[in-house]
Amino acid sequence: MSDPVDETPRSPAADALHVGTWLSLGSPVAAELAALCGFDWVLLDLEHGCGSEAGVPDQLRALRGGPTRAVVRVAGHDAGQIGRVLDHGARGVMVPHVNSAVEARDVVAAATYPPHGRRGVARTVRAHDYGLRAVGTESPPRRLAPIETAAAVAAAEAIAGVAGIDVLFVGPADLERDLAGRREGTSPDFEACVTRVAVAARAAGKAAGILVRDLADLHARRRQGFSVIAVQSDVGILRDGFRAIVAEGRAADRGC
């Protein structure tokens, strides 16, 4: 992987490194363990993960009282689901495939109370301690805009300029697939796209985020200007650990 360095001036708010991981199993045990191990944030995945929305509150309960921020990736642009996961107590929301500033503004509106948004108000939900805490006294949720297509990369500067968007988050798998599916010679280079997103976010005083599958890539992405970095997933970590144990066992057997 190439290792360009972002020279754009950084805002203090967007500069601190936040290391997280993807939680796809829908397991409160996995969420609790990730928090106990010290992750700054975790992503509860409702788009591709095994869990359902009904399982989100129990995962959030496993994180309660600790510093680990729970971000929920909803399945789509449904404002109702965005509002519900925030009512459940999520401290951030990621909405897949934000391809324009218009879509980014819709995400912000769905996650924001009136008069600046259209999120519905309910006093007795978990986010407000079931009515024990006043609406609006909680910290605003972080809104993460995934950059997963060439169109989103082209609009990165405009998306970064939307008030209320906190993080431009590169989704490598979707972006690579979108670029690969374009007519030969018309697709921009993947690394050039990643760099453009990082620079656009930092220029707007926003954080840049990305998912890395290889822990060795964390340092390179950090030097590139990314500060919200997810490493692997619960499924990937289990898979790799299981395979390593099986391979070592078979090697030990052959060595007998």
Give every CB contact of residue 244 below 8 A, 6+ residues apart in sequence: none
Residues 39 and 228 sit within 8 Å (Cβ to Cβ): no
The answer to whether the Cα torsion of 209, 212, 217, 218 is positive or negative is positive
Give one word for 185, left, alpha or beta, with left for phi > 0 and alpha for psi -120 to 50: left
- Residues that are catalytic: 48
Identity of the residue numbered 248 = E
User: What distances in angstroms separate CA 28 from CA 62, 70, 178, one per listed residue?
Assistant: 6, 12, 33
Amino acid at 75: A
48 contacts: CB under 8 Å, gap ≥ 6 = 24
Burial of 16 (0-12, 13-18, 19+ CB in 10 A): exposed
